């Protein structure tokens, strides 16, 4: 704790109003300023520096009396309740400078209905919305029906970050609207989709200067699940590639200019809550103050004297002060009392709080704490915010969680996935995740000539195809049999499986992947050979993996003919393992796919994948590096671990009945390289494929990856299967009959078109 009572010279006497973690962070920044001779805080908490007073944030007369009595010449207002009540107006009348907007300007937060009308008048991008008064329930439900999209129901007035309802179906919409309109005016909005960011700016009445974007985590549980809270953690900078200055011009500057035109200067902090949608950022709300817990992370990064910035704002001279930031990142984790955000467990209201001793890379900001007889106790929900500082987010996050683990409070809880969205923002290509598809293609090109030197007239398919194929006509039970072989691995999916202790599915993965690779050449599986390697032999784990292989083989009528288990200390990292396998199948030569009849006008019929299968995991592991695997995210109907470790499906059951149907011209197994790289494998020279995005339902996991990363559609469809695991090529006139024989949902996702003479390729187009 920092203590400040007086400094030499004629420094300022500063009063910080508020009692939460935000106000502790503000007070700490004020205490560091050489411009301050005396710091007062009211009502403060068990950790705030300076002299504490017992005047409540909502007691406007008491705050004015305190400021005048103690000779305060600058008040910094933290909570919105004080600003809405007019504390700045009252202090100004008493001759005390106050940093914060007037009551009339604080309506931008105090009334969401007013804020929506203001955004509409100023042309600021926002969701469709409507405002309803108590008694307007029928009109509200009719508006919801007419809009025809998912909605959000918000209290128009202040609600400490919790006055939001997100109904998921019609009955819950009715309940939410009914409950909302019994409490006052409500705003109903279309529910937008995308990550949320906090854009917070200093304002001097004419100019606004934004701090880096921060991201708050409102939901109480990992995976953004559970009820809304006042904020369970935050990090900054968030989305560092965003143009913060441009965002400030769009969402902050118009408010400052409008207030000035009305004759009332907006001086203080202005906070725009933004959602990044597919159509760009949209305004969720404005707040008239620093956020909590955003203030804790942003002020930890501020290198300029806060008082210098505040003085410049009050003087209308913000442009003259450089706002310097540390070249670091900050991650804040909120430790909350048992029961929060609902009714607190009775014993938690006076539970003893023991804090570890954070090193220089972490700071502790008190929220709901109090000193009672020299003992620190909790007296509310959000007890303390632990902020880690690091050269990058990963280091800052490590410091934050290390410090959070040192907080001792009976029944307390905190989220383990703060900043979970951040890794995906750095992924604009598959190469950025550590996988270079182009380099892989180059390797195949380089080794083709070497492989070709070993072939003979019996080799029908070689390197670059889904699997090797050799004419073995001595198999007399066939008229003209062809053996088809495939060798593959499970890739970096095994790292995730090993880390989570769920390895059985990887055995199914390798078998089904190889089955699909021979299936696309018209072959049925005969036998399978496996290879399992690890740093240390674990018989139980090997047995679990092989059990998964056995199940996949039994379902497909395939025999495990042999295999190898290798123990390789020093080659694999401790706990790591790898799997590879070879599968051999057989097909009549006349039934070998693709058929030579593939031609212009043929359509592409897509069959659903049941997950990422065995490809794209270098990307997926990076995107979800900080997410909690046991929780659901976005629209997932199961845990992230369940979604990521779903075993690769075999398409033999659905395709078996049509393999020898001459109307089936080709099959494409969508593996590494996605639709973009795999469809051209079956196309003759002179043909391209056009694939219509939006022609099939994209599963929730892939939609979440698209939301979290900055990858464009072409790159996404190279890295992941995006919901299509197998593609059939058939004549347009045969498509209906073939699809009917499949026995499961399928989609016509594209067609074959003439090329311009280049190598076959895929063109992705809008629907």
Kindly report, residue by residue over 364-414, the tens digit of the pLDDT: 999 999 999 999 999 999 999 999 999 999 999 999 999 999 999 999 999
Q: What is the mean pLDDT of residues 582-606?
A: 96
- Name the nearest CA neighbour of 269 among 248, 238, 243: 248
Q: And the tokens for 331?
A: 């991650």
Q: Are strands 524-534 and 362-366 parallel, antiparallel or unpaired?
A: unpaired
Please write the tens of the pLDDT for every residue from 478-490.
889 999 999 999 9
Q: What percent of the chain has pLDDT over 70?
A: 92
Please write the tens of the pLDDT for every residue from 68-116.
999 999 999 999 999 999 999 999 999 999 999 999 999 999 999 999 9
Contact 77, 285 (CB under 8 A): no
Please write the tens of the pLDDT for every residue from 676-700.
999 999 999 999 999 999 999 999 9
Pair 652, 629 in one domain: yes
Pair 632, 762 in one domain: yes
Please write the tens of the pLDDT for every residue from 54-76.
999 999 999 999 999 999 999 99
What does DSSP assign to residue 733?
G
Cα–Cα distance, 161 to 196 (Å, whole number): 14
527 in the Ramachandran plot: left (φ > 0), alpha (ψ -120 to 50) or beta? beta
Domain membership of residue 659 (yes or no) is: yes
Residue after which a domain boundary falls, among 573, 592, 611 = 592
Pair 370, 511 in one domain: no
Domain membership of residue 712 (yes or no) is: yes
**pLDDT band at residue 559, thresholds of 50, 70 and 90?**
confident
| CA 500, chain centre distance (Å) | 20
Contact 469, 518 (CB under 8 A): no
Domain membership of residue 259 (yes or no) is: no
Please write the tens of the pLDDT for every residue from 7-27.
445 799 999 999 999 999 999
- Name the nearest CA neighbour of 727 among 679, 674, 671: 679
Domain membership of residue 341 (yes or no) is: yes
Q: What is the mean pLDDT of residues 428-452?
A: 65
Pair 617, 764 in one domain: yes
Pair 601, 745 in one domain: yes
Pair 517, 565 in one domain: yes
Higher pLDDT, 358 or 242: 242
Rg (CA), the chain: 31
Residues 6 or more apart whose CB falls under 8 angstroms from that of 485 comprise 467, 468, 469, 470, 518, 582, 583, 584, 585
Domain membership of residue 178 (yes or no) is: no
Give the CA distances from residue 584 to residues 479, 518, 519, 760, in Å, rounded to whole numbers and listed in that order: 18, 8, 10, 28
- Among 96-110, 290-304, 562-576, the minimum mean pLDDT is found in 562-576
Residue after which a domain boundary falls, among 99, 130, 148 = 99
**pLDDT band at residue 457, thresholds of 50, 70 and 90?**
low
Tell me which residue range forms the domain holding 375.
327-419
Residue after which a domain boundary falls, among 67, 99, 131 = 99
pLDDT of 466 above 80: no
- Name the nearest CA neighbour of 216 among 433, 426, 413, 21: 21
pLDDT at 445: 63
Element housing 494 (H / E): helix 493-500
Give the CA distances from residue 453 to residues 449, 450, 459, 462, 486, in Å, rounded to whole numbers and listed in that order: 6, 5, 12, 11, 20
Q: Please spell the DSSP secondary structure of 524-589, one letter per residue.
A: EEEEEEEEEEESS--HHHHHHHHHHHHHHHHHHT-EEEEEEEEE-BTTBPTT-EEEEEEEEEEEEG
Pair 406, 479 in one domain: no
631 in the Ramachandran plot: left (φ > 0), alpha (ψ -120 to 50) or beta? beta
- Among 41-50, 60-69, 353-362, 496-505, the minimum mean pLDDT is found in 353-362
Domain membership of residue 363 (yes or no) is: yes
Pair 390, 462 in one domain: no
pLDDT at 464: 65
Q: And the tokens for 501?
A: 């202790």
Please write the tens of the pLDDT for every residue from 317-350.
999 999 999 999 999 999 999 999 998 887 665 7
- Among 84-88, 164-168, 232-236, 582-586, the minimum mean pLDDT is found in 164-168
pLDDT at 454: 43
Pair 586, 603 in one domain: no
Pair 572, 542 in one domain: yes
Query: Which backbone phi and psi does 616 adopt, to 5 degrees?
Result: 90, 10
Q: And the tokens for 122?
A: 């100023």
* Number of domains making up the chain: 4
Cα–Cα distance, 520 to 669 (Å, whole number): 7
Give the CA distances from residue 332 to residues 296, 337, 512, in Å, rounded to whole numbers and listed in that order: 7, 16, 44
Q: Where do the DSSP E strands lie in 642-754?
A: 664-669, 687-692, 724-730, 746-754
pLDDT of 2 above 50: no
Pair 571, 614 in one domain: no
Contact 415, 328 (CB under 8 A): no
Q: What percent of the chain has pLDDT over 90?
A: 73
Residues 6 or more apart whose CB falls under 8 angstroms from that of 561 comprise 527, 528, 529
pLDDT of 570 above 90: no
CATH of the domain at 81: 3.40.50.20
pLDDT, the chain, mean: 90
**pLDDT band at residue 429, thresholds of 50, 70 and 90?**
confident
CATH of the domain at 612: 3.90.650.10
pLDDT at 662: 96
Domain membership of residue 680 (yes or no) is: yes
Rounded to the nearest 5 degrees, what angle is found at the Cα of 329, between the Cα atoms of 325 and 334?
115
Please write the tens of the pLDDT for every residue from 249-271.
999 999 999 999 999 999 999 99
Give the CA distances from residue 472 to residues 275, 506, 524, in Å, rounded to whole numbers and listed in that order: 60, 31, 15
Pair 623, 564 in one domain: no
- Name the nearest CA neighbour of 252 among 206, 313, 309: 206
Domain membership of residue 312 (yes or no) is: no
pLDDT at 440: 57
CATH of the domain at 336: 3.90.600.10
Give the CA distances from residue 490 to residues 344, 499, 520, 612, 614, in Å, rounded to whole numbers and listed in that order: 47, 15, 19, 11, 5
């Amino acid at each position: 704790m920092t203590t400040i009572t007086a400094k030499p010279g004629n420094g300022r006497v500063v009063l910080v109003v508020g009692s939460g973690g935000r106000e502790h962070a503000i007070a700490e920044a004020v205490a560091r300023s050489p411009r301050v001779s005396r710091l007062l805080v009211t009502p403060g908490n068990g950790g705030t520096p300076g002299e504490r007073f017992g005047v409540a944030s909502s007691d406007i007369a008491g705050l004015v009396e305190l400021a005048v009595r103690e000779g305060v010449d600058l008040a910094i207002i933290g909570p919105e309740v004080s600003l809405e009540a007019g504390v700045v107006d009252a202090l100004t009348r008493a001759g005390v400078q106050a940093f914060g907007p007037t009551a009339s300007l604080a309506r931008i937060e105090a009334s969401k209905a007013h804020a929506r009308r203001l955004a509409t008048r100023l042309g600021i991008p926002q969701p469709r919305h409507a405002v309803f008064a108590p008694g307007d329930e029928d009109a509200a439900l009719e508006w919801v029906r007419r809009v025809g999209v998912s909605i959000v129901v918000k209290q128009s007035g202040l609600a400490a970050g919790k006055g939001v309802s997100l109904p998921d179906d019609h009955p819950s919409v009715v309940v939410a609207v009914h409950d909302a309109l019994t409490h006052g005016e409500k705003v109903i909005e279309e529910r937008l989709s995308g990550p949320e960011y906090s854009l917070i700016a200093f304002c001097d009445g004419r100019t606004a200067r934004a701090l880096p974007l921060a991201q708050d985590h409102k939901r109480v549980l990992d995976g953004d699940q559970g009820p809304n809270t006042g904020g369970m953690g935050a990090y900054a900078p968030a989305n560092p590639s965003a143009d913060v200055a441009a965002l400030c011009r769009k969402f902050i500057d118009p408010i400052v200019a409008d207030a000035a035109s009305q004759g009332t200067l907006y001086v203080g902090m202005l906070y725009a809550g933004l959602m990044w949608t597919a159509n760009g950022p949209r305004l969720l709300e404005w707040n008239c103050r620093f956020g909590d817990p955003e203030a804790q992370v942003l002020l930890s990064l501020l290198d300029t004297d806060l008082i210098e910035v505040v003085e410049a704002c009050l003087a209308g001279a913000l442009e003259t002060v450089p706002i310097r930031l540390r070249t670091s990142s900050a991650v804040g984790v909120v430790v909350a009392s048992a029961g929060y955000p609902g009714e607190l467990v009775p014993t938690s209201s006076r539970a003893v709080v023991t804090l570890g001793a954070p090193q220089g890379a972490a700071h502790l900001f008190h929220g709901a704490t109090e000193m009672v007889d020299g003992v620190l106790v909790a007296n509310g929900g959000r007890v303390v915010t632990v902020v880690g500082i690091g050269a990058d987010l990963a280091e800052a996050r490590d410091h934050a969680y290390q410090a959070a683990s040192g907080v001792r409070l009976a029944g307390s809880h905190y989220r383990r996935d703060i900043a979970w969205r951040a890794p995906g923002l750095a992924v604009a290509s598959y190469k950025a995740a550590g996988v270079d598809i182009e380099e892989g293609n180059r390797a195949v090109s380089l080794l083709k000539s070497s492989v070709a030197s070993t072939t003979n007239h019996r080799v029908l398919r070689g390197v670059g195809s889904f699997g090797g194929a050799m004419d073995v006509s001595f198999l007399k039970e066939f008229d003209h049999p062809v053996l088809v072989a495939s060798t593959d691995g499970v890739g970096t999916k095994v790292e995730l499986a090993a880390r989570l202790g769920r390895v059985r599915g990887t055995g199914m993965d390798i078998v089904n992947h190889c089955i699909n690779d021979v299936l696309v050449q018209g072959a049925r599986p005969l036998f399978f050979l496996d290879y399992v390697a690890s740093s240390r032999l674990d018989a139980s784990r090997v047995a679990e993996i092989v059990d998964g292989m056995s199940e996949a083989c039994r379902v497909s009528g395939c025999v495990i003919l042999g295999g190898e288990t290798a123990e390789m200390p020093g080659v694999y990292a401790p706990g790591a393992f790898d799997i590879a396998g070879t599968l051999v199948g057989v097909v009549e030569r006349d039934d070998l796919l693709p058929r030579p009849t593939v031609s212009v006008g043929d359509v592409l019929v897509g069959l659903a994948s049941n997950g990422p299968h065995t490809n794209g995991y270098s990307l997926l592991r990076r995107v979800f590096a900080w997410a909690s695997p046991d929780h659901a995210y976005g629209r997932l109907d199961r845990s992230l671990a369940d979604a990521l470790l779903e075993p690769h499906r075999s398409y033999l059951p659905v395709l078996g009945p049509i393999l020898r149907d001459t109307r089936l011209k080709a099959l494409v197994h969508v593996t590494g390289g996605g639709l973009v790289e795999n469809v051209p494998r079956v196309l003759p020279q002179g043909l391209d494929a056009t694939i219509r995005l939006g022609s099939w339902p994209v599963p929730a996991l892939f939609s979440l990856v698209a939301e979290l990363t900055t990858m464009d559609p072409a790159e996404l469809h190279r890295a992941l299967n995006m919901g299509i695991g197998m593609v059939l090529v058939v004549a347009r006139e045969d498509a209906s009959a073939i699809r009917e024989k499949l026995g499961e949902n399928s989609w016509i996702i594209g067609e074959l078109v003439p090329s311009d003479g280049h190598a076959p390729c895929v063109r992705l187009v809008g629907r």
